[in-house]
Amino acid sequence: MWNTHLLLPLGMHIPDGFLSVPVALAWWVLTVIAVGFALRQVGTTLHEHQIPLMGVMAAFIFAAQMLNFPVMGGTSGHLLGGALAALLLGPWAAVLVMACVVALQALLFQDGGLLALGANIFNMGVATALIGAYVGAPLLRMLGGQRWGLVLVGFATAWLSVMVAATLTSMQLVLSGLSAAVVFPAMLFVHLFIGVGEGLITVAALGFVLTTRPDLVTTMASYLNPATMQRPLDRRSVLGVTGGGLMFAVGAALLSPLASGDPDGLERVAEDQGFLDRALDPFFNLLPDYTLPGLDGPISTIIAGLIGLFIVFGLVYGLTLLLRGRNQERV
């Protein structure tokens, strides 16, 4: 069975064994459809200035997800990031960013099961991105793009995205045989508080980006200052954005040893409600629990985090370049 002392999941990463095979496969189908549609949409609508921002966003979200924060009663949470990515990039670019982050976490760090990967991508990536884009963005438009509205909308959208992800996870667990009367109240209660942390981090990140480089965003910049969408990025700006963004992501990775060691929301619920032992060992171990095998201490976590950070940056950056190139060939 799953060794909870060595392989702790982060956030709402569902390990194999929690979901029945039919439920896991059903969400694989939904996720493949959603990611396939996202690839098509991004391939036809991708702006040049989104290419570095998508890679940097993936790196930042990956690093930020390593920073668990305490919330209540010996439980921790961390940024999901889907709503943040959607508000900055639009829905389908955000879906691709989140899919790459969650998939890398499962494949390289065994954070979440392979059979459950479809559900994890859908819950933490697809659903949160759609909430950010189709709830948050219209609300900001209704408020006239006011900066005070950014605080309200950013927080509310991020909080709601966590609750939606928790609800989906609960529903999948219930469909897999667990009691709805047990799972739903426990999951939703603890994620009420985790969502507050998500909201605060999202507001801080949005405020920083829109204060320093509003020309880099699509959805929100068009509300705050439509003229910024007409200014193309020169080579120096692209390099500055990429380098500066990676520095922030690296900084988050360097702080990862300071993350709370308390169990996250899903693990806490599974432990308290008696279904933690359903989790299965991963099929293989590469960098389990975000550490390098044979290397102990904080340096192991930092190096493993930096490896993942640069891999996901390169993956998303390369994917966006490929999609952009194919779109230009069609034109």
pLDDT at 296: 86
Asked which of 144-158, 189-203, 231-245 is least confident by mean pLDDT, the reply is: 231-245
Q: Are residues 251 and 173 in the same domain?
A: no
pLDDT at 109: 94
pLDDT at 139: 86
Q: Are residues 225 and 247 in the same domain?
A: no
pLDDT at 63: 94
**In terms of residue numbers, what domain contains 270?**
234-331
Q: Are residues 8 and 40 in the same domain?
A: yes
Q: Are residues 86 and 208 in the same domain?
A: yes
Task: Tell me the C-alpha distance between 178 and 196, whole Å.
Answer: 27
Q: Are residues 124 and 135 in the same domain?
A: yes
Q: Are residues 161 and 149 in the same domain?
A: yes
Stronger pLDDT, 222 or 36, i.e. the higher one: 36
Q: Which of 180, 206, 231 is the last residue of a domain?
A: 231
Phi (first) and psi of residue 76, to 5 degrees: -125, 165
**pLDDT for residue 2 is more than 70:** no
Q: Are residues 203 and 69 in the same domain?
A: yes
Q: Are residues 221 and 246 in the same domain?
A: no
Q: Which of 212, 231, 250 is the last residue of a domain?
A: 231
Q: How far is CA 315 from each of CA 103, 202, 311, 318, rounded to the nearest angstrom?
A: 11, 24, 6, 5
Q: Which of 231, 265, 295 is the last residue of a domain?
A: 231
**Total tally of structural domains belonging to the chain:** 2
**pLDDT for residue 220 is more than 90:** no
Task: Tell me the C-alpha distance between 198 and 37, whole Å.
Answer: 27
Q: Are residues 183 and 71 in the same domain?
A: yes
Q: What mean pLDDT, rounded, does the chain reach?
A: 86
